[in-house]
Amino acid sequence: MKEYGFDEIREMQQKALERVQNMKLAADRAIADEPAFTPAVKSDTAKGHIQMPVNLPKKQEQVPAQTESAPNFLDNIFEEPDKALLLSLLLLFKGDKANEELMTALIYIML
């Protein structure tokens, strides 16, 4: 790692200070260019009424909550790891064209 001398550090600090001052000037100019704050609601107290806001957000329609449906067969199986294992065995045996009595026994155990 390079070690800096006193003069180099002083020069870097001076450049950093100049950059900060330039950024502050740019920020001050940007703030001066912005339009003044105008309230969204204008009131006329002399007439005794208040005008409606000019920039109201659009109302979003609420989506009705979905009602819970009857539990799905697969949801029930995957909640219990034993049943999920038996189902995977059943599918494996089906792919290997295993004995139907064995597969029926697995289905009975799953229930």
User: Which residues are CB-neighbours of 30 under 8 A, at least 6 positions away?
Assistant: none
Residue 46, CA distances (Å) to 43, 49, 50 in order? 9, 8, 10
51, 43 Cβ separation under 8 angstroms: yes
Q: Quote the pLDDT of residue 52.
A: 66
Domain extent listing, the chain: 1-34, 73-110
Which one has a higher pLDDT value, 46 or 97?
97
Residue with tokens 């329609």: 61
Top-confidence range, 18-22, 79-83, 91-95, 106-110: 18-22
- 42 within 8 A of 52, measured Cβ to Cβ: no
Handedness of CA 75, 77, 81, 84 (dihedral sign): negative
Q: In the prediction, which pLDDT does 72 show?
A: 72
